[in-house]
Structure 1
Amino acid sequence: MDADPPAPATSDEPTAGRLRLTDPGRMRAMAHPLRMLIMGSLRIDGPATAAILARRLDTDSGQTSHHLRTLARHGFVIDAPELGKGLRGRERWWKAASTTTVFSDDGDDPRSLQAAAVGALDRAALQTWDSLAAAYREQVARGEWSAPWRRAAGAGDSIVRLTPGRLSALRGEIGEVIARHEEAGRAEDDDAATVVIALLAYPRRVAE
């Protein structure tokens, strides 16, 4: 007799490394620019201690340690004991519990706790992206990026008329293009670098 199939994962359980947030409490726990930067660094740059993260993110280890504890309490980061305890035997290594996080307001009530939590996440994400863009500009000013990179990098915007369905389709198509280039980027030469692509797509309404 075949074994019973495994129970399907709940919305807030990572599936194939992808964590879809629906719980307002966990959303608010993630809604902090430094916590988002910590998660990004652990996912992209690899496991780290609070001290290593402080150096990566140009902050102090007290801050990173505090936010790591919060992230751990909500299951976003986990211990990496296989990496040891550091030179002094007291350092705790951490790694991300998932490879990516997605969230959206799927409810019908714009005044719900979930909608408010999504708003907090959006605001924190905007601050995070702004800090990453500012860091790039500071690096450019110090001469750390070549002319080809300066020509390739940048920002832009477009204003188009769409229905909700077309906007969803557009975002999906953009995601597919990014995924294709991400796959190709794994085989690129030493000139390749990690690139942050932030997609913002919101309807606008003019007060009459």
Structure 2
Amino acid sequence: MKDEEPYLLDDPDRLKALAHPMRRRMLTHLNVHGPATSTTLGELLGAKTGTTSYHLRQLEKYGFIEEIPERSTGRERWWRRARTPRDMRLPTPDQVAPEDQAVLEEFHRVGYEEDRLLFERFPAAYRADPAWARGSRGLARLTKQELDAFYEEYIALLMRYHRPAEETPPDARPVYVRFFTLPADDD
């Protein structure tokens, strides 16, 4: 895929659509396992079909998923992840209107909870298959400009290995990748 400019996800309504835990779990399922119906997602997530249908419509409204018309029949609608920008970035708090700060904070809160759960799964995943569960820890002394460059190089590397499910080799697996930095001298 050709390089694309980063997409700033600064629309509060789109952020709000992604800040809901069930919608995020739906998107994760569609990303990892491919297309699904509202019924399938409801069974997997322990929710009623009406609830999953509502959340799917919200995700569709903001362009995160799309119906697969050739696979849908009657009342059974199949959904897939829409082609969204691969390099989607969040606004910084100063890029969000004061009245929308709570939406950005909720988006982060839900995401950090997902990350915490993944972090808790890591030791068991590592014991089961260390070739697929990798971790790294480090400390670097960087200027703000160097940290910016490091982050951009990390994103470029991630984008180099990102590809749609239909373009992956048969032995490829979806893997969660997380990156964060924080000052070490603030504690």
Higher helix share: 2
Q: Secondary structure at the match of 2:66?
A: strand
Aligned residues: 180
Amino acid at match of 2:175: V
Q: Alpha-carbon deviation of 1:153?
A: 1.0
1:30 aligned residue (12, 15, 18): 18
Amino acid at match of 2:146: R
Using CA pairs under 8 Å that are at least 6 residues apart, name the structure with larger relative contact order, 1 or 2.
2
Amino acid at match of 1:26: R
Q: Does 1:65 align with 2:23?
A: no
Q: Distance in 2 between matches of 1:170 and 1:152?
A: 24
Q: Alpha-carbon deviation of 1:24?
A: 1.4
Report the TM-score when normalising by structure 1: 0.66
Q: Does 1:200 align with 2:180?
A: yes
| Structure 2 unaligned residues grouped into runs of 5+ | none
The aligned counterpart of 2:36 is 48
Q: Secondary structure at the match of 2:130?
A: helix
Report the TM-score when normalising by structure 2: 0.72
Q: Does 1:117 align with 2:103?
A: yes
> After superposition, what is the alpha-carbon deviation per residue over 1:116-151, rounded to whole angstroms, capped at 9, x for unaligned?
43322221111223344556667x5xxxx885x235
Q: Distance in 2 between matches of 1:168 and 1:124?
A: 25
Structure 1 or 2, whichever has the larger Rg, is 1
Q: Distance in 2 between matches of 1:44 and 1:19?
A: 22
Q: Distance in 2 between matches of 1:197 and 1:120?
A: 21
| Structure 1 unaligned residues grouped into runs of 5+ | 1-14
Q: Secondary structure at the match of 1:150?
A: coil
Amino acid at match of 2:98: S
Aligned-residue CA RMSD (Å):
3.6
The aligned counterpart of 2:115 is 129
Q: Distance in 2 between matches of 1:97 and 1:152?
A: 27
Q: Distance in 1 between matches of 2:162 and 2:11?
A: 29
Matched-pair identity in % = 28
Contact 2:122–2:133 (8 Å) recurs in 1: no
